Copies of this chain bind each other. A is one copy, B any other.
């Protein structure tokens, strides 16, 4: 951008166009939205050559800038990735449309009827990093839920995103919907993010998807509500009355199914009554998978016999850590209370699971653990929109306001009250 004023005007224009598009989108039919979604899927497949060429530019730039291999891997798009995107859009079209649903319509003593109608939020802003599939996933979910979207992706996939934007506009036009229903910020100027976060008159909610730096920036500067999750410090607690074989399976899956995801377990809590039996069962399996253990003193004492000095002593930092890598903190606790205290003190209110066969213990854990997902005898890895039956998710919220846990179409809507009368007045 040549100067700040130009940038601000650009962002204002985006905001105004989005607001206009949102008004139209809010009352189009489900059939209209689905037709546009299918057209977007077709446009993606038709543009394969163009998309791959655009992505090659981003990859070449990333190599030239010396980005690390993991980063580059995340931004690469291939033919199968494009097919998956198109399939994802079709799956969103197949989801039930939440907009317009009227619920709880009742007659009140005054004679009026009162109920609620589900409506779009309006304009959703999404700021995200690298992976280009977010562009398509987010656009499809917002469109289906009747929201206009302003997307701001990472500069490292700018060419890919602009190519994707063209496919989306082509699909919207083919479906006779406003092409400004999905807009991608057309500049990589970082100042655009700050301007965007100030546009509360045009953007109803902001969703950051990316690392902690990005989320913190959004929390700091956003003048509109934010749906976010900061950390995924998830726990599995193996209770005194756990089935230990199942506990081994679940604790292994929660940690090793995938490491770099927010619903992976980061701390394993073990009741002292079963620690001496359970820890030697699971520790060799973690070692086999290459998972480094960091234990409390009791954990270290129990495992020294079988792992020698292979267990590092955990510090307070370990209880707070979201490793996103093959490292696991392990702590022996005296009781259910101590386990819950640990989770409430060090956890991130994302996903926590208990392994137990005791009904009352399970019931207390479900009630008292204050996390977006609380589980009994199941892997933390299930905390996911598809697994929960939401169809797809725009993110996982660790907030308590509005949407909590995996956020699907419903989380992108709100409910207004509707009142029907026949000339009723308040006495």
| Chain A residues within CB distance 8 Å of chain B | 23, 26-27, 100, 106, 108, 110, 112, 114, 117, 119, 121-122, 204-205, 219, 223, 225, 227, 243, 245-247, 249-250, 252-254, 257, 344, 353, 355, 364, 366-368, 370-379, 381-383, 387-389, 399-402, 404-406, 414-426
Given A108-B389, A368-B26, A421-B122 contact (CB < 8 Å): no
> Quick check: B377 and A426 within 8 Å, CB to CB?
no
Which chain B residues border A424 with CB–CB below 8 Å? 250, 377-379, 382
What's the minimum C-beta distance from A29 to chain B, rounded to whole angstroms?
11
Closest B residue by C-beta to A374? B418
B-side contacts of A204, CB under 8 Å:
400-401
Residues of B contacting A416 with CB < 8 Å? Answer: 370-374, 404-405
* A253 CB → nearest B CB, Å: 4
> Which B residues lie within 8 Å of A355 (CB)?
423
Pair B257/A425 contact, Cβ less than 8 Å: yes
When C-beta atoms are compared, the residue in chain B nearest to A114 turns out to be B388
Closest residue on chain B to residue A200 by CB atoms: B219
Extra A-B contacts (15), CB below 8 Å, given A117-B366, A400-B414: A121-B401, A225-B401, A227-B401, A372-B417, A373-B417, A373-B418, A373-B419, A376-B419, A378-B420, A378-B423, A378-B425, A382-B424, A404-B414, A404-B416, A406-B417
Q: How far is the CA of A355 from the CA of B420 in the complex (A)?
A: 10
Closest to A426 in B: B381
Name which residue of chain B comes closest to A245, CB basis.
B423
Which of A219, A250, A254: most chain B CB closer than 10 A?
A250
How far apart sit A387 and B223, CA to CA, in the bound complex (Å)?
Answer: 33
Indicate how many identical chains form the complex: 2
Task: Judge whether A387 and B108 touch: CB under 8 Å.
Answer: yes
Residue in chain B with minimal CB distance to A368: B27
Q: Chain B residues near A383 (CB, 8 Å)?
A: 417, 419
A377 in contact with B423 given A27-B367, A401-B205, A405-B416 (CB within 8 Å): yes
Closest chain B CB from A354 CB (angstroms)? 11
Assess the B400–A253 pair: CB atoms within 8 A.
no
Kindly state the separation between the CA atoms of A404 and B355 in the bound complex, as whole angstroms: 38
Q: Are A387 and B426 in contact (CB under 8 A)?
A: yes
Chain B nearest CB, measured from A350 CB (Å)? 11
Q: How far apart sit A383 and B353, CA to CA, in the bound complex (Å)?
A: 42
Choose from B117, B404, B414, B426 the contact partner of A379 (Cβ within 8 Å). B426
B residues less than 8 Å from A421 (CB atoms): 375-379, 382
- A426 near B370 with CB under 8 A, answer no
- Bound-state CA distance A204–B402 (Å) is 12
- Cα–Cα, bound, A23→B376 (Å): 20
- CB nearest neighbor in B for A223: B219
| CA distance in complex: A355, B100 (Å) | 21
A112 partner, pick from B122, B254, B378, B405, beta carbons under 8 A: B378
A186 to B355 CA separation, bound complex (whole angstroms): 45
Q: State the Cβ distance, A170 to closest chain B Cβ, in Å.
A: 27
B401 engages A367 (CB within 8 Å)? no
Docked CA distance A112–B122 (Å): 34
**Closest-CB distance, A164 to chain B (whole angstroms):** 27
Of B243, B370, B374, B399, which is within 8 A of A423 by CB? B243
